[in-house]
Amino acid sequence: MTVPARAVAPTLLQIDAVLSRLHGRPALQEVCRFLHESFPTYRWVGVYRLEGDALVLDAWEGPEATEHTRIPVERGICGQAVRENRSVVVEDVRSNPDYLACFLSTRSEIVVPIRDGGAPIGEIDIDGNEVKAFDATDRAFLESIAAKLAPAVHAAALEPRPPG
């Protein structure tokens, strides 16, 4: 368990505060930064947005950039989460044949859909450096956050993309 029970409600209030002052990609970026800073096992935190048949990386925070800035929905754990419209927790990425490697240090991953009207429009993707870094507590916590992010994801879709 990464998130102590006592941290859940205050964190959700802080996310609300972020989303009341920032919109679009800057809001997603600040949510990524805040989660990465607050929970040490969240080693890399990103938000992908569904654009046609691909997931586009809109914001991330972590020690390294990923080469997977655009992931076809038929690929990876990221693709699986939107295809199946459910949260996916991978306890050990080394034993998951669908895993798309980003960082040598990654051992586990959690991907949580961001939905609008029940349909996935994006996702939160978090990598951990320990096997079984994420459990049902993380899933419930991140699903609560994802439920707040649809407006920011929609707004990000309308913003010009930075080069690269």
User: Where on the chain is the footprint of ligand SME (CB under 6 A)?
Assistant: 46, 66, 68, 71, 76-78, 99-100, 102, 109, 125, 127
Q: Provide the pairing of β-strand 54-61 with 108-116.
A: unpaired
Q: Which is nearer to ligand SME, 14 or 69 (CB)?
A: 69
Q: Provide, for the chain, the percentages of residues in helix, strand and coil under a 3-state DSSP scheme, each rounded to the nearest 5.
A: 40, 25, 35
b/e burial code for range 8-29 (CB count within 10 A of at least 16 → b) = eeebeeebeebbeebebbbbbb
* Residue count (the chain): 164
Under a CB-based contact definition with an 8 Å cutoff, are residues 36 and 47 in contact? no
Q: Which is nearer to ligand SME, 3 or 77 (CB)?
A: 77
Q: Which is nearer to ligand SME, 68 or 148 (CB)?
A: 68
Q: Which is nearer to ligand SME, 30 or 123 (CB)?
A: 123
| Residue 128 Cβ vs ligand SME, minimum distance, rounded to whole Å | 10
| Residue 110 Cβ vs ligand SME, minimum distance, rounded to whole Å | 10
| Residue 64 Cβ vs ligand SME, minimum distance, rounded to whole Å | 9
| Residue 46 Cβ vs ligand SME, minimum distance, rounded to whole Å | 6
Q: How many helices (H) and strands (E) does the chain have?
A: 5, 6
